[in-house]
Chain A
């Protein structure tokens, strides 16, 4: 029999997009070993494969998500969900291979950390989670003149959804906007309402320079506190930088 030509399913870089591609890959019955899934932003075309663009289909994505939860486990779904947020090439393929193993061996897959793809998905999910943990602390909101809280982040991985849940629970009575500089998207929360992800926010960004009267006072007091809380005899810039890497500093009030 003639060897099949490898196929690459190219999808959007988001959870639903990757799962839509997984759906198509299964539906095609082309054979797992001939299929690779890659997100469009990390895709580097070569002559030896066929490229198939998979449009994101929310329903397909959801049905795969349900299947993972029901047939494999909640833990597996958590790993896949977190890993799909990663800003690294190859994640879609790792997720696909992880799911291949998972649907074949639902009980064992999450324990099989010695398998490369399982370990990769697990590590990706931890990486994303660690950045979320950091940002939960490092996000700084400033109060704009209209009373809206505005914060900027520049994360390696997609964080708006994860942070959106956290801050919606924490600041339910506030209007706030969290802007991802790298992806040019914003998480917008209306007081006592749900949050939504918005893509075209350039017009709003133009209006974020005007801050409220209290804002300058509070940010100044925060800097004062920050300076006075350190113990001189223990000063240790390297430890500080290790715990709070420089890439976060540009958006932090006290480090500017």
Chain B
């Protein structure tokens, strides 16, 4: 303990930023708050990225743990009790000074405060709540705050934190209860879902309050999120998407984050230390997550028991479209918004623009290009005034091979790393014979 007292804020910052970095969520979106004429800070609905770290991830918030002195021993976690790592604990004052100093220089959009469990959940949550209170009431900080709800902490403490924070989150950690029981025996699914439900109910009650009293204090105005680790346990993509879907529907979450498992510990129950994070899988899950939230897809449409995992070669929407050719081609000048959204190459923005522009005049392919439709993908699935752009053989194999030739913009790390992982299941999907496979992979059609 003597040594801990001697540590400078900067040394603690190094340790506790390191300890916090595996948490993926760093968004500052969902709150819109104009400043009064005092104090410091405001919030912008869309969120603001202040920097990008060497791994290309956005840095929006000062993402730190209050402490990494954790009593738990979760197998996958760098801060588990049995690991020999440097431990540090911030005082609430230190966190306030860092947040204010960074915010004033426009380094950050706010604070993301999480923590290992110090002594017990209540003690930890109390320290966190105390920090937030200091920030809001003494420092008059009106920037963004994202705080973790510590499972097992008393509901009163969580509620109190919710009135100071913009967003709260409670990590699901692993997609299924069995996985959790194996890798994080001190945590349980039930304990994690409890605060999640409490926050959900709190937000709903607060909405009613706000309609009655405009100036009622706001409870978690930017909603709650969660994250799960992908690739540490053997769940299929279908299982994961179904979990996300029910979280969105039953818990009204704003976001579910997926975190490709980064091997930091060696353990017989974990994938080998040499395994690289499954980034392409994470990428596909995010793509599918978008399809759930903004495109009106359901998990069961995208995957089924026979094909429980996403394809590595095609994005989930193309994959779905190829397996449902009976729904295409779609007539751009007539199809409704929701049908347009399901066409590969048409996104939310371009679907809206199409609906707007076609009121003024009939659209042809040149117009679609101007509007921002990705024709490379869309041409196989749409008609303009009854015509397709080119006459093409209307079958899965042809379209599939042409779609493969369209280079998808993947993060390059993903591309080089996962090439060897590209499995053959896709080819089974579309009955492509062995000869075609090699052609497709070398890019000749």
Contact = CB atoms under 8 A, between A and B. Distances in A.
Does A associate with B in a complex? yes
Contacts of A220: 10
A192 B38 CA distance: 8
Given A111-B356, A221-B98, A138 B21 contact: no
Nearest to B100: A218
A112 B360 contact: yes
Contacts of A171: 40, 104
A114 B357 contact: yes
Contacts of A230: 21, 53-55, 57
A133 to B, nearest CB: 7
A225 B106 contact: no
B13 A231 contact: no
B51 A137 contact: yes
Interface centre among A138, A174, A192, A252 (most CB of B within 10 A): A138
Contact of B55 (A170, A173, A236): A236
B52 A243 contact: yes
Interface string A134-164: 0011111111000001010000000000000
A115 to B, nearest CB: 9
B214 interface: no
Interface stretch (B42-50, B185-193, B231-239): B42-50
A133 B60 CA distance: 13
Interface stretch (B160-168, B298-306, B363-371): B363-371
B75 interface: no
A29 interface: no
A24 interface: no
B42 A169 contact: yes
Contacts of A242: 56
Contacts of A149: 104-105
Contact of A142 (B36, B105, B109): B105
Contacts, number: 168
A207 interface: no
A253 B106 CA distance: 11
Interface in A198-256: 214, 217-222, 224-240, 242-244, 252-254
A228 to B, nearest CB: 4
A143 B100 CA distance: 13
Contacts of A49: none
A143 B103 CA distance: 12
Contact of A174 (B20, B37, B59, B104): B104
Nearest to A168: B35
Contacts of B104: 141, 143, 149, 171, 174
Q: Interface extent on B, as a size class?
A: 35 or more
Interface string A106-130: 0010011110000100000000000
Contacts of A240: 52-56
B52 A229 contact: no
Given A111-B359, A151-B106, A244 B37 contact: no
- Interface of chain A, helix or strand or loop or mixed? helix
Contacts of A234: 55-57, 260, 262, 277, 279, 413
Contacts of B109: 137
Interface centre among B36, B107, B359 (most CB of A within 10 A): B107
B296 interface: no
Contact of B356 (A113, A119, A170, A226): A113
Q: Interface extent on A, as a size class?
A: 35 or more
B326 interface: no
Nearest to A219: B105
Given A119-B370, A133-B48, A229-B59, A170 B35 contact: yes
A238 B412 CA distance: 7
B21 A221 contact: no
Contacts of A114: 357, 360-361, 363, 367, 370-371
A148 B365 CA distance: 54
Contacts of A253: 105, 107
Nearest to A111: B356
A53 B17 CA distance: 58
A136 B48 contact: yes
A140 B262 contact: no
Nearest to A252: B51
Nearest to A239: B56
A140 B371 contact: no
A74 interface: no
Interface string A20-34: 000000000000000
B13 A224 contact: yes
Interface string B90-110: 000000001001101111010
B307 interface: no
22 contacts: A113-B356, A114-B371, A137-B50, A170-B41, A171-B104, A172-B40, A214-B101, A218-B102, A221-B10, A222-B107, A225-B13, A226-B59, A227-B54, A231-B21, A234-B262, A235-B413, A236-B411, A239-B56, A240-B52, A240-B56, A243-B56, A254-B51
Interface of B: 9-10, 13-14, 17-18, 20-22, 34-42, 44, 46, 48-60, 62-63, 98, 101-102, 104-107, 109, 260, 262-263, 276-277, 279, 353, 356-357, 359-361, 363, 367, 370-371, 411-413
Given A221-B98, A222-B105, A234-B413, 5 more contacts: A136-B48, A137-B51, A238-B56, A239-B55, A243-B58
